[in-house]
């Protein structure tokens, strides 16, 4: 049986999104005028990189910065070959940005292409607002700005030129074009180190629990960069970088990212209660979310909620933020509205409507691994995908039917461990879990929540990869 339910493939997407956030986000909060200018020539150039994982070559990257009449054009391309549940998955990401002479962003285009689909995000800014359009969405998202957006990576050569001492920290306040929130990137100077015979400055960039170690050349260019799941970007001559990837089996991200379990769980889809002991330095990130999920110290207790009662109310201030359409949950799209009406028919009871929606998505989406950034509109059109596609479509159809809904990111047990997964919660007088992959409402007790909200909550999952382990303590029904 295919584990098409897993969301581990999204962890690669998260790594790509983290790069976009770092490279195309809002300006630093620190007074960058206090830093010296970069070394001559550091504002333009071209680099090629090999991409490695555990010593195996899995792809290559290319970065180009060149002058234009108005400022600069920055291009960043990455080609990877990974595996998802045993199937090779070629992935290409591209970022193209136009800036003014001071590197203030004027426009960008991000593309992620995979066998499943091609996702694009384009944006323009006049310094007062950022207008972002996702895919072929009719209406763009407009984000007010307090100051022009810059490319934070231009800070790297200035940090090198500052000859900062080890331990020096720089904090940047950024506005993510993916989450629409102001966030913080912290850059810490680790000190000078020799990499491949070259003197480099080692800095650590941290955001949203994600850590990237970067080794910078004297001109501020990247010599090496390492991130989650052991991925390493290594500067190389073009011919070396584009050489064939390792013919051995590529990293299977689903297997590499799963949370190991000490113990076994029988009949997981029927389980009503589960107690786990949680270890790892990310254990504190697992939320205490009663009544379904309670964490006391290192003990996590999960119980399946009661079946929702008939005549549950869907009108409540607590759920109001999740009743309206959003960037990837386009509940006002005519096709989604029409489909929701067909699914629920003349039914008035919210719980019955929610079950019909979950069942319809379960029966009408082909389950297959997918590496893309799903939107409900595109999922309804394609009728295929993994848990992320199921989750965004359920949320959109539920909202279109008058039921507040939000996406949940977490992990679910499957055969040999807990795999990263996405499902939903619908408001039926209280939040009730729903999973269209398994056709469950409420879901079984092996679903462990890590975050909830809009699609941006996936970023919270990335922060725990490789930092959690579970052990069974007890179970019951």
My answer on whether 268 and 148 are in the same domain is no
Task: Indicate whether 2 belongs to any domain.
Answer: no
In this structure, are residues 7 and 422 in contact, taking their beta carbons and an 8 Å threshold? Answer: yes
Question: Widest CA span of the chain, in angstroms?
Answer: 72
Mean pLDDT of the chain: 80
Residue 453, pLDDT above cutoff 80: no
| CA distance linking residue 108 with residue 159, whole number of Å | 24
User: What is the tens place of the pLDDT at every residue in 210-268?
Assistant: 788 999 998 888 899 887 777 888 999 999 998 877 766 566 777 777 889 998 898 99
| Tally of domains in the chain | 2
9 confidence band (pLDDT: 50, 70, 90): very low
In the chain, pLDDT over 70 holds for what percent of residues?
78
Domain endpoint, select from 241, 270, 293:
241
> Which one has a higher pLDDT value, 151 or 470?
470
**Distance from CA of residue 107 to its chain's centroid?**
22
pLDDT of residue 34: 54
Domain of residue 181: give its range: 8-241
Q: Beginning with the edge strand found earlier in the chain, give each strand of the sheet holding 273-279 in spatial order.
A: 261-262, 469-476, 273-279, 299-303, 293-296
Candidate from 49-58, 115-124, 215-224 with smallest mean pLDDT: 115-124
The CATH number of the domain holding residue 397 is 3.10.620.30
My answer on whether 82 and 112 are in the same domain is yes
Domain endpoint, select from 216, 241, 266:
241
Mean pLDDT (whole number) for 351-369: 91
> Which one has a higher pLDDT value, 250 or 415?
415
User: What is the tens place of the pLDDT at every residue in 23-44?
Assistant: 333 333 344 445 555 554 555 6
Residue 21, pLDDT above cutoff 50: no
Contacts of 163 (CB under 8 A, 6+ apart): none
The CATH number of the domain holding residue 68 is 2.50.20
> Which one has a higher pLDDT value, 25 or 118?
118
Residue 92: how many other CB atoms lie within 10 Å: 14
Task: Indicate whether 89 belongs to any domain.
Answer: yes
Residue 19, pLDDT above cutoff 50: no
Residue 128: how many other CB atoms lie within 10 Å: 10
Mean pLDDT (whole number) for 153-161: 76
């Amino acid at each position: 049986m295919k584990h098409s339910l897993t969301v581990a493939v999204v962890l690669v997407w998260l790594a790509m999104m983290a790069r976009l956030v770092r490279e195309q986000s809002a300006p630093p909060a620190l007074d960058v005028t206090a830093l010296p200018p970069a070394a001559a020539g550091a504002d333009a150039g071209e680099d090629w990189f090999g991409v490695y994982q555990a010593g195996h070559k899995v792809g290559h990257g290319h970065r180009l910065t060149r002058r234009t009449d108005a400022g600069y054009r920055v291009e960043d391309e990455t080609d990877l070959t990974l595996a998802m549940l045993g199937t090779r998955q070629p992935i290409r990401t591209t970022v193209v940005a136009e800036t003014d002479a001071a590197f203030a962003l004027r426009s960008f285009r991000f593309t992620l292409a995979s066998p499943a689909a091609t996702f694009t995000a384009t944006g323009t800014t006049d310094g007062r607002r950022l207008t972002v359009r996702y895919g072929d969405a009719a209406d763009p998202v407009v984000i007010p700005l307090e100051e022009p957006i810059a490319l934070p990576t231009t800070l790297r050569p200035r940090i090198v030129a500052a000859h900062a001492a080890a331990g020096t920290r720089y904090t940047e306040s950024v506005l993510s074009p993916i989450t629409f929130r102001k966030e913080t990137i912290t850059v810490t100077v680790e000190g000078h180190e020799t990499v491949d015979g070259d003197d480099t400055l080692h800095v650590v960039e941290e955001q949203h629990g994600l850590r990237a170690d970067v080794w910078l050349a004297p001109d501020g260019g990247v010599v090496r960069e390492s991130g989650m799941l052991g991925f390493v970007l290594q500067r190389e001559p073009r011919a070396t970088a584009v050489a064939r990837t390792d013919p051995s089996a590529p990293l299977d991200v689903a297997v590499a990212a799963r949370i190991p379990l000490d113990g076994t769980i029988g009949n997981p889809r029927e389980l009503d209660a589960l107690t786990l002991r949680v270890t790892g330095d990310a254990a504190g990130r697992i939320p205490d979310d009663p009544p379904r999920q309670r964490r006391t110290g290192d003990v996590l207790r999960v119980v399946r909620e009661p079946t929702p009662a008939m005549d549950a109310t869907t009108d409540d201030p607590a759920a109001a933020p999740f009743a309206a359409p959003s960037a990837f949950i386009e509940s006002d799209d005519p096709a989604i509205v029409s489909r929701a009406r067909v699914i629920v028919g003349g039914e008035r009871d919210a719980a019955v409507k929610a079950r019909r929606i979950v069942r319809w998505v379960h029966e009408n989406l082909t389950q297959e691994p997918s590496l893309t950034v799903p939107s409900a509109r595109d999922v309804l059109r394609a009728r295929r995908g993994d848990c992320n596609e199921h989750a965004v479509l359920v949320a959109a159809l539920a909202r279109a039917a008058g039921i507040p809904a939000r996406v949940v990111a977490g992990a679910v047990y499957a055969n040999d461990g807990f795999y990263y997964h996405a499902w939903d919660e619908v408001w039926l007088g209280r939040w009730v879990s729903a999973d269209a992959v398994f056709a469950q409402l409420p879901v079984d007790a092996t679903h462990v929540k890590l975050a909830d909200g809009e699609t941006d909550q996936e970023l919270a999952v990335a922060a725990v990869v490789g930092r959690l382990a579970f052990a069974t303590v007890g179970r019951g029904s």
